[in-house]
Amino acid sequence: MARPAEWTIPALAYLGDAVMEVFVREHLVDEGLAHSAALNRAALKFVCAPAQAAAAERILPLLTEEEQGWFHRGRNSKHLNFPKSADPADYRKATGLEVLFGYLHETGQQIRARALFAAGYELPEKMTKDEE
């Protein structure tokens, strides 16, 4: 299996998006949401570019130098297509966040990823309780 440094930035962002989606779903189910319509509405508050950009801003001071490097690679990647509804700056930060989570996942740093997710979205630390 290739190491994260050998992957393209879009591939890491794609993987990181899936990792974050699992974290969001786990959080929402843990919160007691049980119906798909409510779950999908609540998930949108986490996965839209402005929410991801805000989460990125919250965790930037917590990142190691290596983590910052991965975030910046994602944020600075060349985007040719931005959704019309997304602010380009937010979209870039969201991509940086996804790349970071893809990197953390692929390097086996699930506890760190969960802690950063909790910090980024200002969630209780219980996100990490089962893996310590």
Average pLDDT over residues 1-21: 86
3 within a domain of the structure (yes/no): no
Q: Is residue 131 predicted with pLDDT exceeding 70? A: no
Spatial distance between the Cα atoms of 83 and 98, rounded to a whole number of angstroms: 16
Q: Provide the 10 A C-beta neighbour count for residue 49.
A: 21
**What does the mean pLDDT of the chain come to?**
88
Q: What range does the domain containing 41 cover?
A: 8-28+36-127
Q: Is the pLDDT of residue 1 over 70?
A: no
Check whether 2 has a pLDDT greater than 80.
Answer: no
Give a yes or no: residue 2 inside a domain. Answer: no
Q: Is residue 1 part of a domain?
A: no
Span 55-112, pLDDT tens digits: 999 999 999 999 999 999 999 987 657 777 778 899 999 999 999 999 999 999 999 9
Q: Give burial (CB, 10 Å; 0-12/13-18/19+) of 86.
A: middle
User: Is pLDDT above 80 for 124?
Assistant: no
Evaluate whether residue 66 is within a structural domain.
yes
CA angle 130, 132, 95 (to 5 degrees): 80
Q: Would you state the pLDDT for residue 86?
A: 76
Q: What pLDDT sits at residue 80?
A: 59
pLDDT score recorded for residue 58: 97
Radius of gyration in angstroms for the set of CA atoms belonging to the chain, rounded to a whole number: 14
* Residues designated as active site: 17
CATH for 108: 1.10.1520.10
Q: Using the 8-state DSSP alphabet, how is residue 86 labeled?
A: S
Residue 48 has pLDDT above 80, yes or no: yes
Task: Indicate whether 77 belongs to any domain.
Answer: yes
Please name the residues in contact with 62: beta carbons below 8 A apart, sequence gap of 6 or more. 116, 119
Place of tokens 């086996």: 108
- Model confidence, pTM: 0.88
Is residue 13 domain-resident? yes
Domains contained in the chain, number: 1
